[in-house]
Amino acid sequence: MTQTNGATLARPQGGPAAAWQAIEEAAAGVVADPENSKTAARLLGGLIADETARHGVRSFSESVAAAHAEGLLDDGLAAFVAAEAAALDALVDEAADDRFEYFGLRTVYDRYLLRHPVTRGVLERPQHFLLRVACGLSSSVGEAAELYRLMSSLAYLPSSPTLFNSGTRRPQLSSCFLLDSPRDELEGIYERYGQVARLSKYAGGIGVSWTRVRSRGSLIRGTNGLSNGIVPWLRTLDASVAAVNQGGRRKGAACVYLETWHADVEEFLELRDNTGEDARRTHNLNLANWVPDEFMRRVEADGTWSLFDPKEAPELTDLWGEAFDARYRELEAAGRYVRQVPARALYARMMRTLAQTGNGWMTFKDAANRTSNQTALDRNVIHLSNLCTEILEVTSDAETAVCNLGSVNLAAHVTAEGVDWARLRATVRTAVRFLDRTIDLGYYPTPEAEAANLRWRPIGLGVMGLADVFFTLRLPFDAPEALALSTRIAEEIALAAYGASADLAAERGRHPSYGETRAARGVLHLDHYPASPVHPEEWAELRLRIEATGLRNSLMVAVAPTATIASIAGCHECVEPQVSNVFKRETLSGEFLQVNRYLVRDLRRLGLWTRETRDAIKTADGSVQGLPGLPDDLKALYRTAWELPQKALIDLAAARQPYVDQGQSLNLFMAAPTIGKLSSMYAYAWRSGLKTTYYLRSRPATRIAQTTVPAVRPEAAAEAVACSLENPEICEACQ
């Protein structure tokens, strides 16, 4: 390990020590001068070229031949490249490496380039890697060239599983898998464990519902005993997830969803607590609440909430909207509940879990089902989201929902004059075609996943670099112009994506379940919202096209977190504001210093980029609000996520939602969360029509504990919720 100006870098094995020292010295100077990032990247690019040359690799075709000889690549890919070697070698643009920042290229080097199984030296250069991914998804040189040029310009990147596995012998290309709750029987539960393990092995993020499994104290008729509830089963799942490390590339990861009426919900909310009996805790699973509207209405009304054993009320899992509301009240009136609790007390417990752990994500069952293209028929129900809360697809015991993801880099589509709308649409059309291709080319670890993906053909096209757009165009995140621009970007992407899917349907056929969708009935996702599109005439024309051709894909758009691919592209993550103007990124490769290059450009123009300024920003945890001499407009522009009103982030997401037919991984930020602030914030997100939220990001735990009071009395929690819900206009979280 090397310590450089506060950044700790893990020096890889291999490569001359002097070369690594030069790279690390350049990387250490990134905060003083962001251009050092490019310098370090160029040095690393040279080292990679030398390393591949030692394995006899100088061209793309030689790279593929070497990797195939070591059993790393598919025979079909190797044959295609060998047959078209000259044309494919000519596509490689070595100068494109100059587009990488150091952190991005280092991420590619450490995690994505194919390595010799014995020497561990890399067998492909960065551009060889991108072209190999493109070839793995293509049937001709022309197709490979189109996708390669898009990726090499960093204008679009597929998700990590596709980057890891395209062209390999086991091409698992999908990002997300959603498994319905196991059947409430021993065999069903253990069958689900096995499915989760097989899916996680090949780099899939897992979402799994546990709502159908009976609650603690439920009678087991076969033995005349009483159930221990869901916690022991989730403990076993927790250990299984921890044991599967996705081929050594990243840890296995899963999120468990539970509906709010399940009688074990309070124990579920304690699973990530750091106190209490460890035998009733899970440390690897993420947790999410699958919340019906009826619960939120009762919270607002300060009503009573009834908790049910799913063994006694199994139908609630497959109902939503008015049907759920009616059946829930019937069961309640019949006294079929296990117990009743004040709705606000349970809601306060959810808020406390979020404040203490960041987990227990709030996701909304009715909004997800009410607006989905897949839920035109009653038998098709969305029961959960995925690991990152952006995928919303129907599941059943026989179908594991799957999604293939990719993200457009908005930073590559904007100049100081504005967004290049024509280029953005062209990028989207190409991305949709290749995302659809992954459905046919991918390896499926379970038959349930293959069946669902081929039947519905959903894709999840997202974005990254929205903050870069705002910085380039000088728009604060909470400016009305930023809201309008963000919404138009979403509309332009949706129009292009739906148009591309209609074209694919005309060319290759509509997806097999098209007749079960709302689109087949003339209803598009936009129709569920009172939106005012910028292009109403174009939407009208698109409807006529879809009526004639159908759609190749049941779902099109999902805003995923993009943590890793945004690093590769050198832009800010998905639709999020910056967390700090100067910060460290911690990865498996070490710690990397990063700085807001847009801010540095402005400070240099003002003559303020000095050592004293850098020290002041570091001391202020990356904030520039107290920086002397900085104009107010720049202070507003460069606020961090902690300094922005969270209402603005929710409003941006709500305005995008009509054009996002799946969900959005929406992180919310609060340095010192309290139950009152959180209760208002999440109620506002629900009222705004959001389908899902993701992590609650907060500052150090000691500060959280001081403001949330872990052992909060139920009556005090209810008072805090009441204060915020009944007076939302004064909530600090949303102002």
| Mean per-residue pLDDT, 158-165 | 94
Per-residue pLDDT tens over the stretch 230-241: 999 899 898 888
In angstroms, the CA 128 to CA 94 distance is 9
678 part of a folded domain: yes
Same domain, 119 and 180: no
| Mean per-residue pLDDT, 367-378 | 97
pTM of the model: 0.93
pLDDT band, very low/low/confident/very high, at 283 (cuts 50, 70, 90): confident
How high is the pLDDT of residue 429?
98
- Could you please report the per-residue DSSP string of 406-442? EEEEGGGGEETTEE-HHHHHHHHHHHHHHHHHHHHH-
Task: At 307, list the tokens.
Answer: 């908790």
Distance (Å) of CA 406 to CA 131, 198, 430:
16, 23, 11
The residue type found at 378 is D
Task: At 129, list the tokens.
Answer: 């890697």
Same domain, 255 and 324: yes
Same domain, 262 and 346: yes
Same domain, 644 and 722: no
424 part of a folded domain: yes
Same domain, 339 and 435: no
Q: Give me the CATH number covering residue 185.
A: 3.20.70.20
Compute the chain's Rg from CA coordinates.
Answer: 26
393 part of a folded domain: no
Task: At 56, list the tokens.
Answer: 């006899």
Same domain, 654 and 679: no
> How many secondary structure helices (H) and strands (E) does the chain include?
29, 20
Same domain, 429 and 576: yes
In angstroms, the CA 483 to CA 648 distance is 9
89 part of a folded domain: yes
Same domain, 672 and 645: no
Distance (Å) of CA 185 to CA 212, 233, 311, 465:
10, 11, 11, 46
Is residue 54 helix, strand or coil?
coil
Q: Calculate the CA dihedral of residues 8, 14, 17, 18 and round it to 10 degrees.
A: -110
How high is the pLDDT of residue 274?
78
pLDDT above 80 (res 245): no
300 part of a folded domain: yes
Helix (H) or strand (E) holding 403: strand 401-409
In angstroms, the CA 604 to CA 168 distance is 47
pLDDT above 90 (res 662): yes
How high is the pLDDT of residue 469?
98
Per-residue pLDDT tens over the stretch 663-685: 999 999 999 999 999 999 999 99
How high is the pLDDT of residue 734?
37
Same domain, 245 and 166: no
Same domain, 468 and 510: yes
Nearest C-alpha neighbor of 525 from the set 575, 490, 562, 549: 490
pLDDT band, very low/low/confident/very high, at 699 (cuts 50, 70, 90): confident
Are the C-beta atoms of residues 404 and 162 closer than 8 Å to each other?
yes
| Mean per-residue pLDDT, 642-656 | 97
| Mean per-residue pLDDT, 278-285 | 82
Per-residue pLDDT tens over the stretch 526-549: 999 998 999 999 999 999 999 999
- Show which residues are catalytic: 386, 388, 390
Domain containing 524: what range?
154-173+405-596+638-662
602 part of a folded domain: no
622 part of a folded domain: no
Per-residue pLDDT tens over the stretch 411-429: 999 999 999 999 999 999 9
| Mean per-residue pLDDT, 300-328 | 97
Same domain, 646 and 710: no
Per-residue pLDDT tens over the stretch 452-507: 999 999 999 999 999 999 999 999 999 999 999 999 999 999 999 999 999 999 99
Number of domains present in the structure of the chain: 4
How high is the pLDDT of residue 707?
34
Per-residue pLDDT tens over the stretch 388-402: 999 999 999 999 999
Per-residue pLDDT tens over the stretch 202-231: 767 899 999 999 988 777 776 767 778 899
60 part of a folded domain: yes
pLDDT above 90 (res 9): no
Chain mean pLDDT for the chain: 90
Task: At 406, list the tokens.
Answer: 């990719």
Same domain, 650 and 671: no
pLDDT above 60 (res 73): yes
